[in-house]
Structure 1
Amino acid sequence: MGKVYYVSKNVGLGLLVLAATALATIIALSIAYDKERAKNRDKPEDGTSDSTGMPTPPTTPFIPKEPWDHYRLPESLVPVSYNVTLWPRLEPNADGLYIFTGHSAVVFRCVKETDLIIIHSNKLNLTTFNGHHAKLSGLGGAAVPTIQKSFLIVKTEYLVLQLRSRLAVGTSYVLHTEFLGELADDLEGFYRSEYTDDGMKRVVATSQMQATYARKAFPCFDEPAMKAVFNITIIHNSATVALSNGRDIGTTDSVIDGVPVRVTTFEPTERMSTYLLAFIVTDFVNIQSTQNSNLLVRIWARRKAINDRQGDYALNVTGPILQFYERYYNASYPLSKSDQIALPDFNAGAMENWGLVTYRETALLYDPIMSSTGNKERVTTVISHELAHMWFGNLVTLQWWNDLWLNEGFASYVEYLGADYAEPTWKIKDQILLYDVHKVFAVDALASSHPLSRREDEVNDPAQISEMFNTISYSKGAAVLRMLSEFLTEPVFAKGLSSYLNTFAFSNTVYTDLWDHLQQAVENTPGMHLPDTVHNIMNHWTLQMGFPVVTIDTRTGSITQKHFLLDPESVVDRPSQFNYTWFVPVKWMKTGVEQQQYWLLQKTDVHSLMRVSGEDWVLANINVSGYFRVNYDLDNWDRLLSLLNTDHQALSVINRAQIIDDTFNLARAKIIHTTLALRTTKYLSNEREYIPWESALRNLDYYILMFDRTEVYGALQAYLKKQIQPLFEYFKIITADWTRVPTGHTDQYNQINAVGMACSMGVEGCRELIQGWYRQWMKNPHPSPIHPNLKSTVYCAAIAFGGVEEWDFAWRMFKNATLASEASRLRSAMACTKVPWLLNRYLDYTLDPTKIRKQDATSTIQYIARNVVGMPLAWNFVRAKWSYIFQQYGKASFSFSNLIHAITRRFSSEFELQELKKFKEDNLHVGFGSATLALEQAIEKTTANIKWVTENKAQVLKWFTEEST
């Protein structure tokens, strides 16, 4: 069990004394921010400032020489508790700036002799005391070294205090700071969000600390292992409410410097990491309920959203999901309340702040009349993901960001379990195949991929940390943990998990600690046998990148594994201690009868039971429980394809989707012929299920991207029209000519596919249907004649078919939308226009936060890039504006890498590859931040696309031409 520090009685009394001085000392900080900023601005250490005031990157490599040159904190000091008071101003000062002032006292213990105090602080203007940026005192009468000098380091974001003598090991001290910061609209740290209510601008002070932004709110030891207890006090206008991680325990009205204010104090938090802190000042209102053990659950949002009952659904599912996790983890919810709040401006989808979870409005609010089934599912799964973190991640936290995958991968897996409990009729657990497994296969098949668990020295600075919040961490983490749960069985997995959480509560771990407890669960389960320890099995999946393709030859029974690479000619320069061999759990069936699970432990083996003859067939990786692809001998492929064409329901929905996805990717990797992959789509005219259709459309989308600017597209369009028409007619019939909603959850999704693809491929009657609905809406916007499920499809298609009038109407509806999901649909649909000047105007709008919110700017550019007309416009726009876009959104944004992926998806010519390389070369001085890896992957993907198009264009054209007649 990790070492835990508790707040002693003396420490508590000391903090009370410090708190009593907070209101007095904080007054002195209310000064003009621009003057403070000018006086205290730090100079770049290794470079100059450009015209924007931003430090330019150094021209020579940076070599750490001093302790403060390293991005990781020294191990000499450990925080015990903080007492933080913050006063955000929701009105601009005389200079038009929004500011906050604050005071912090951190109690820390010296565990290793040192004459340095190094603590994170970034973009804060610190008040000086006798010429120093902080004051130091001792607890219990401890002698305190005097401060020799103090200084700020911009590069590593530190406040450094050089002491005249050393701190004593085992002694506790208090570091006191007072500061002023800008309440900016940058979506980081303590920041400003704005919205309009009845024509009036409203300002919310809110926070986003993950991963390295708590240091922008107050000086702190800003690393996940530096857990402490936080005592938070917020000063705010009496017309607003203050929220934080804990319940408020006291509210008093006061007057500070002639300003009437309210002072809200909160209960001390549990021992926790800085990245999970949250504090919000707002005029929002809430709805609430009390769950078991008197747990207070509240949903907060704009007053109109709450009045329109947009928070009701979230409140209804939160209780069941919390109860599910309490049983699943065998551990009670560890806090006294659960607040969830929908914010107008928020960079991520949601953030698991302990006790105060923050969301984009689209991820928490659901309108029972205007929202779609997809919106409802998103609310359920995001809530389930964030609440999973209350235990896994918050109660027990990973030591460092290199193991982020275990935190996010775990939540990405069990979110399906929690959502399934809340909405059992949705059968949502199957959708992990589409949302995570197939999604990450595409990334992990690249030579530029990386292992789930990286070495600590590979993840240091904030940009490298943000880069970890990627598809590998989330989706591969989910897929690998699902595989682990499958071969252990869910009860054994849950038993080991419960032991892990209860052992390390309020502490930090490394990923091998979880393996230890799962291994104990295995050993305590009678009759359970694994081919090796959990450690050794899982190390093969977490310490080396990629995944295998398992090839079964049903003529001989031989079975082999090989590292699967989308481009077989790409060079993997990352070494693997396991020589890219995995311990592969193979669940399989023979002619519809499930067989005993088989473990492939080396490169090559023979399994006699897999030898078949006649009409018998073999299908491996049942329900895609394992994280690998499967290939067969040609005879077995023929038998499986014949089965699809004659009796496709003999295979599960998931395995039908798997066959399609495996063959298309095996073909791209030159393992099988492209025409074999295309043959898997011939049965689709008889398919009515969503998951196989979605798998097919995603894979065919690659063909559309590669060929929608070439002569191949006409034949491709004719073939897909032929395949989609029966599905379109099927939904027309079961919906009584589009007047009813399909009853099944996934049927509603497949109706969207049917309509969207039918219109794209020119199915008769579809265009007229779409345009009729849209024109009717333009004539009479309230109520809308378009069902919420179909709105995204109808809006996009109608705008694509239309012109300026349709676009401008959508823009007006977007600006007036009061439901976030409706605004999001319209924002995406406006990128569908085929009119170049409208797209260029829309791109310019992304630079204006009054038109497109900052949180939505990069995703709007991505939407435009999806459009075949918009792609070159978006590419030119990003190249021309890269420096600005990077400074505004890219330095440490989690989602910034998606921008590079989206813009380069269609790149498939030598000219585009050279443009991409030149873009990289031209902007090295600017940098790429959290998109650095994405850029390397884009170059790799473009190179592979060029080869694939060259080798396959002729045969693809021939196949589509023959099959479309």
Structure 2
Amino acid sequence: MASTVEPVKSQNEYRLPTDAKPTLYEVTVRTDLDKLKFDGFVVIHLDILRDTSIIVFNSSKLLLGSAHLTSSSLKQEIVQTTKDFTLNEKSERCTISLPTTLSAGSQAQLKIDFDGELTSGMMGYYRSAWEHEGKTKYYTLTQFEPTATRRAFPCWDEPLFKVKFSVTMISRADTVNLNNMPAISEEVYIPGYKGNKDVVSWLSDRFSALTTGEMEKWKITHFETTPHMSTYLVAFANGPFAHIEDMYKSPLSGKVRPLRVYTTPDIIHQARFALDVKKSVLPLYEQVFDIEFALPKLDTLVANDFDAGAMENWGLITGKTNAFLIPAEKTDLFTKKQVAIVQSHEVAHMWFGDITTMTWWDNLYLKEGFASLMGEVIILDKVFPEWKVQSSFIADMLASAMSSDAKLSSHPIEVECPDVNMINQIFDALSYSKAASGNASDAVRLCWRGQIPEGCVYLPQETPVLEQCHERSMGGYSGGERHRCAQDDGQLVKRTGFPIVTVKETKDGIAVRQDRFLATGPAEPKDNETIWTIPLNLVTVDSNGKVTIDRTLVLDEREKAIHLDTSKPFKLNAGTAGVYRVLYTPERLTKIAQEAVKEDSVFGVEDRIGLVYDALALAKAGYLDVSGILLLYDILRNEKEYLVWCSIADALDSIESTWYEHEDIFEKLNAFRRELFAPIITRLGFEYPEGESVDTAQLRTKIIEQAASAGDETVVKKLCSWFKQAAETGDDSHIPPDLIRITFFIAIHHGGRAEFDHVRETISSAKNPSIRISAIHAMGAPKDLTLAEETWDYILNKSRDQDIFYHFGGLAVNHKTRHFLLEHLKQSYEQLYERLAGNFGFQRLINIAHMRLSSSKDLHESKEFFKTKDVSKYKMALEQAWDGVEARAAWIEHSTADLRAWLEKRQK
């Protein structure tokens, strides 16, 4: 096959021409698990929209055979050999030059054979490994989002082209085949097989050298044809899968549909909770959308090797083990919540993302912001109200979004994506969390803004759930007015960043001013030109104690004066619904905190969470003294709500992590943390009694983790004794599941060779994914760099690709190995890049390796190293990582004296 790598001149070089439009794919794929190869052919039915003598489609990593073209406008079949193909490897496009012109208005059929390798790369059609009776076995599955369908079969691999798919799978007779749709036939292959003539012909050719006995070891599974859908949602899998099954009855039609979860047989018993969540949320989605689930079944396939968390393939959700599996016995609450979140998120996509699909990847935020808000908050709150997901949204999504968006390297949530490299990089907190948090969710309400490809069912704008999304979004800022859908003026989703609202008190009230907020400090004029429309949501208390929230007050100019009685409590951004920071004077911040800790405070839990996160961000940027926010957290020491303590703990962890190289500050700060957390541990204890509230259980976990990290002797001794007992007896049932991860980490950090070896062995013997990940994470905990070297060797030679970032996370949390981590990433750059650059993994490693570094020296050395590398696949992640290091370094420069003075004064 001819290959060219000419430079790309414009976006059109990456986008397919629309002279020919596919209407149906007939895909036949044979999977050989013994040889770890696949092959097959695809028949693509085309409508010719304009006269053309070339056909252009996507293909990557495949060996293509001859192309056979028939057309209603031609008298005979055209056969093109590979010498007639031109492959542009950079744009992953293949061009077939035809000896004649296909006429507009005609129909054509293009048949191409293909062969591919079942690699471990976790993209395209790939292999996953599992252990069975002491041997490594394999199964296969697909991961096509965003642009990897072309690695499995030639296709028009752009979301705009919504097409029907008819899939036939040929596999070993003792395996299970899965597809988006149910199977309509399955039979063992025998000579004389009667079926589709193209399949019969292909099998006759490929099986001609086999004996009858060898032929009978293969089977053919044909699946129902899908509705119109985008290529990235196609899914198929083959392996020795087991499954559990349930069903749900549609509240709209009464139709009963099967629900299944598939895994390898050894772990299927851990899939029940994920199945139960799916059964719970499906009817809720039907009710709020008033649209019935569109397919005959909904399966979930759980994989040992999976790059992303999970994927919303229509009718066949896929994902990694820790995203869907929990033990049938007691499990930690964190894992249970994550499984529920992932399952609900992916089911949300069965409507918004699968039925309605974006035209191009610059609208990724629409489906992901919607599924994050809908699946992880609105619907999940109906199933698990005790989790308070509406309140935890602030910590789980809003804080993450604002952290990313406060950097100069941030990007609009609607960002141009001309090529594959850019598409992969926008799967970040801005496309997910910011899109769910503020003005972007108002854009979600616009439902693709009328971009409805053929074959797509349109979601009504005025369904109850979209109204809820709209109400949440209008708490943020936008280009429109409250209670009115924002006009699509091009600014709604194309602005980068968010504002800070500065509050100054006057004799008549307050004066407010908006500017762009940056983590590195006040924005330069060139970066501070945007004027946002900001709903101020002002909370006030009158002389009779009546609380009022003014939701009509909008700041849509640089400055505004507001008449207000400042002798009474007040606060902007009620409920922390808006995507902006509020800067008060230190005196007013103290007054708000003192009001917040009252039993009958006018400031709710969401206000208190927002107060903590705002204070931290403002101190980092130099707007507040760090001593002022420590005083704030000291005032809040009698707080009872888990979510507020979670925000305080995160803030203190951030401060400690920034000053980790300043030994005197590091030790005094940890002493302050122990002082805050110890009384709560005394009150709550280490046990998790049956029937206690979710809040209490989560609070205990968080506080013990923080106290242990701060070096509390009582807590460290307790956790190390638990670990020792587990290592000596082989039984960890005495360790509360919620404390497994911190127990492992602390035991390694304060232990040595014996503890390290036990954790390493646990990775392969763990009873469930949660314990396994805890062990992987703990391998990054040793103080002894000799053991850290062994961790690095494990990463390079034994770790699954999907697990490397857990190893990195452990090394990054451990302040003794942070520089070690970045240095070893640089030393092993080529090897890690080769393994992970084709998917989302490498940019994730870049982020983790920098996330807790905080010196100008770190920043300079990193920039020196990467200036000689091709960073096109992870440029955005690298620039955001550098911005984070720069912000922490600036924080140290302007706040070290203040922090040291406050801590020293407190100890006297």
What TM-score does the superposition give when structure 2 sets the normalisation length? 0.90
Residue equivalent to 1:918: 864
Q: Is the Cα–Cα contact under 8 Å of residues 58 and 156 in structure 2 kept in the other structure?
A: yes
Does the alignment pair 1:354 with 2:311? Answer: no
Does the alignment pair 1:624 with 2:573? Answer: no
**Equivalent residues in 2 for 1:457-496 (5 A)?**
458-480=416-438, 484=442
Does the alignment pair 1:660 with 2:606? Answer: no
Q: Is the Cα–Cα contact under 8 Å of residues 262 and 302 in structure 2 kept in the other structure?
A: yes
Following the alignment from structure 2 to structure 1, what is the Cα–Cα distance between the partners of residues 814 and 860? Answer: 22
2:803 counterpart letter in structure 1: D
2:548 counterpart letter in structure 1: E
The alignment partner of 2:535 has SS state of strand
Residue equivalent to 2:642: 690
Question: 1:581-625: CA deviations, max 9, x gaps?
Answer: 22222323113713230342422454645x1232x1211222211
Q: How far does residue 897 in structure 1 lie from its aligned partner after superposition?
A: 2.3
Question: 1:457-493: CA deviations, max 9, x gaps?
Answer: x3122111100111110110110268649xxxxxxx9
**Equivalent residues in 2 for 1:46-125 (5 A)?**
62-64=7-9, 70-92=13-35, 98-125=36-63
Following the alignment from structure 1 to structure 2, what is the Cα–Cα distance between the partners of residues 964 and 385? Answer: 48
Does the alignment pair 1:291 with 2:255? Answer: no
Following the alignment from structure 2 to structure 1, what is the Cα–Cα distance between the partners of residues 19 and 525? Answer: 39
Residue equivalent to 1:724: 677
Structure 2 runs not aligned, ≥5 long: 191-206, 250-254, 472-479
Q: How far does residue 757 in structure 1 lie from its aligned partner after superposition?
A: 1.6
Residue equivalent to 1:744: 693
Per mean C-alpha deviation after superposition, the further-off stretch among 768-777 and 337-346 is 768-777
Q: Is the Cα–Cα contact under 8 Å of residues 486 and 492 in structure 2 kept in the other structure?
A: no
Q: How far does residue 304 in structure 1 lie from its aligned partner after superposition?
A: 2.3
Question: 1:312-338: CA deviations, max 9, x gaps?
Answer: 111111112011111111111011100
1:802 counterpart letter in structure 2: G
Residue equivalent to 1:300: 262
Residue equivalent to 2:623: 671
Residue equivalent to 1:170: 105
Q: How far does residue 626 in structure 1 lie from its aligned partner after superposition?
A: 1.5
Q: How far does residue 894 in structure 1 lie from its aligned partner after superposition?
A: 2.4
Evaluate the alpha carbon distance shift between residue 687 and residue 648 of structure 1 in structure 2; reply closer, same or farther with a 3 A threshold: farther
Does the alignment pair 1:406 with 2:355? Answer: no
Does the alignment pair 1:887 with 2:834? Answer: yes
Evaluate the alpha carbon distance shift between residue 319 and residue 505 of structure 1 in structure 2; reply closer, same or farther with a 3 A threshold: farther
1:384 counterpart letter in structure 2: S
1:624 counterpart letter in structure 2: T
Residue equivalent to 1:59: none
Evaluate the alpha carbon distance shift between residue 608 and residue 157 of structure 1 in structure 2; reply closer, same or farther with a 3 A threshold: closer
Residue equivalent to 1:834: 783
Q: How far does residue 862 in structure 1 lie from its aligned partner after superposition?
A: 3.2
2:71 counterpart letter in structure 1: G
Q: How far does residue 870 in structure 1 lie from its aligned partner after superposition?
A: 1.4
1:691 counterpart letter in structure 2: L
Residue equivalent to 1:417: 378
Following the alignment from structure 2 to structure 1, what is the Cα–Cα distance between the partners of residues 836 and 19? Answer: 35
2:9 counterpart letter in structure 1: P
1:444 counterpart letter in structure 2: D
Residue equivalent to 1:811: 760
Q: Alpha carbon RMSD of aligned pairs, Å?
A: 2.9
Residue equivalent to 1:339: 299
Following the alignment from structure 2 to structure 1, what is the Cα–Cα distance between the partners of residues 134 and 233? Answer: 34
Residue equivalent to 1:588: 538
**Equivalent residues in 2 for 1:132-151 (5 A)?**
134-139=67-72, 149-151=84-86
Q: How far does residue 429 in structure 1 lie from its aligned partner after superposition?
A: 2.2
Does the alignment pair 1:378 with 2:378? Answer: no
Q: Is the Cα–Cα contact under 8 Å of residues 326 and 769 in structure 2 kept in the other structure?
A: no
The alignment partner of 1:928 has SS state of coil
Match of 2:504 among 553, 570, 574: 553
Does the alignment pair 1:872 with 2:819? Answer: yes
Evaluate the alpha carbon distance shift between residue 509 and residue 211 of structure 1 in structure 2; reply closer, same or farther with a 3 A threshold: farther
Q: How far does residue 424 in structure 1 lie from its aligned partner after superposition?
A: 2.2
Match of 1:715 among 636, 658, 668: 668
Residue equivalent to 2:403: 442
Following the alignment from structure 1 to structure 2, what is the Cα–Cα distance between the partners of residues 646 and 427? Answer: 21
Following the alignment from structure 1 to structure 2, what is the Cα–Cα distance between the partners of residues 648 and 834? Answer: 47
2:334 counterpart letter in structure 1: G
Following the alignment from structure 1 to structure 2, what is the Cα–Cα distance between the partners of residues 198 and 312? Answer: 24
Residue equivalent to 1:16: none
Residue equivalent to 1:206: 141
Q: Is the Cα–Cα contact under 8 Å of residues 146 and 163 in structure 1 kept in the other structure?
A: no
1:816 counterpart letter in structure 2: S
Evaluate the alpha carbon distance shift between residue 303 and residue 509 of structure 1 in structure 2; reply closer, same or farther with a 3 A threshold: same
Following the alignment from structure 2 to structure 1, what is the Cα–Cα distance between the partners of residues 622 and 75? Answer: 71
**Equivalent residues in 2 for 1:215-226 (5 A)?**
215-226=150-161
Q: How far does residue 248 in structure 1 lie from its aligned partner after superposition?
A: 0.4
Q: Is the Cα–Cα contact under 8 Å of residues 559 and 605 in structure 1 kept in the other structure?
A: yes
Following the alignment from structure 2 to structure 1, what is the Cα–Cα distance between the partners of residues 560 and 820? Answer: 54
Evaluate the alpha carbon distance shift between residue 459 and residue 510 of structure 1 in structure 2; reply closer, same or farther with a 3 A threshold: farther
The alignment partner of 2:514 has SS state of strand
Following the alignment from structure 1 to structure 2, what is the Cα–Cα distance between the partners of residues 425 and 122? Answer: 47
Q: Is the Cα–Cα contact under 8 Å of residues 587 and 597 in structure 1 kept in the other structure?
A: yes
Q: How far does residue 941 in structure 1 lie from its aligned partner after superposition?
A: 2.5
Question: 1:45-65: CA deviations, max 9, x gaps?
Answer: 36xxxxxxxxxxxxxxx2439
Following the alignment from structure 2 to structure 1, what is the Cα–Cα distance between the partners of residues 708 and 770? Answer: 23
Structure 1 runs not aligned, ≥5 long: 1-39, 47-61, 93-97, 129-133, 486-492, 523-528
Per mean C-alpha deviation after superposition, the further-off stretch among 118-127 and 673-682 is 673-682
Q: Is the Cα–Cα contact under 8 Å of residues 413 and 494 in structure 2 kept in the other structure?
A: yes
Following the alignment from structure 2 to structure 1, what is the Cα–Cα distance between the partners of residues 341 and 450? Answer: 24
Evaluate the alpha carbon distance shift between residue 205 and residue 588 of structure 1 in structure 2; reply closer, same or farther with a 3 A threshold: same
Following the alignment from structure 1 to structure 2, what is the Cα–Cα distance between the partners of residues 282 and 73? Answer: 34
Q: How far does residue 731 in structure 1 lie from its aligned partner after superposition?
A: 1.2
Q: Is the Cα–Cα contact under 8 Å of residues 752 and 793 in structure 1 kept in the other structure?
A: no
Following the alignment from structure 2 to structure 1, what is the Cα–Cα distance between the partners of residues 640 and 607? Answer: 15
Following the alignment from structure 1 to structure 2, what is the Cα–Cα distance between the partners of residues 707 and 327? Answer: 51
Residue equivalent to 1:271: 228
2:895 counterpart letter in structure 1: N
Following the alignment from structure 1 to structure 2, what is the Cα–Cα distance between the partners of residues 771 and 619? Answer: 45
Q: Is the Cα–Cα contact under 8 Å of residues 342 and 360 in structure 1 kept in the other structure?
A: yes
1:463 counterpart letter in structure 2: N
Following the alignment from structure 1 to structure 2, what is the Cα–Cα distance between the partners of residues 424 and 321? Answer: 13
Evaluate the alpha carbon distance shift between residue 877 and residue 198 of structure 1 in structure 2; reply closer, same or farther with a 3 A threshold: same
1:115 counterpart letter in structure 2: S
Question: 1:255-284: CA deviations, max 9, x gaps?
Answer: 443332110000000100000010000111
What TM-score does the superposition give when structure 1 sets the normalisation length? 0.85
**Equivalent residues in 2 for 1:503-542 (5 A)?**
506-507=455-456, 530=481, 534-536=485-487, 540-542=491-493
Residue equivalent to 1:18: none
Following the alignment from structure 2 to structure 1, what is the Cα–Cα distance between the partners of residues 159 and 14? Answer: 14
**Equivalent residues in 2 for 1:257-268 (5 A)?**
257-258=210-211, 259-260=215-216, 261-268=218-225
Q: Is the Cα–Cα contact under 8 Å of residues 590 and 632 in structure 2 kept in the other structure?
A: no
Does the alignment pair 1:329 with 2:273? Answer: no
Match of 1:156 among 91, 101, 108: 91
Evaluate the alpha carbon distance shift between residue 380 and residue 964 of structure 1 in structure 2; reply closer, same or farther with a 3 A threshold: farther
The alignment partner of 2:318 has SS state of strand
Following the alignment from structure 1 to structure 2, what is the Cα–Cα distance between the partners of residues 817 and 181? Answer: 34
1:797 counterpart letter in structure 2: I
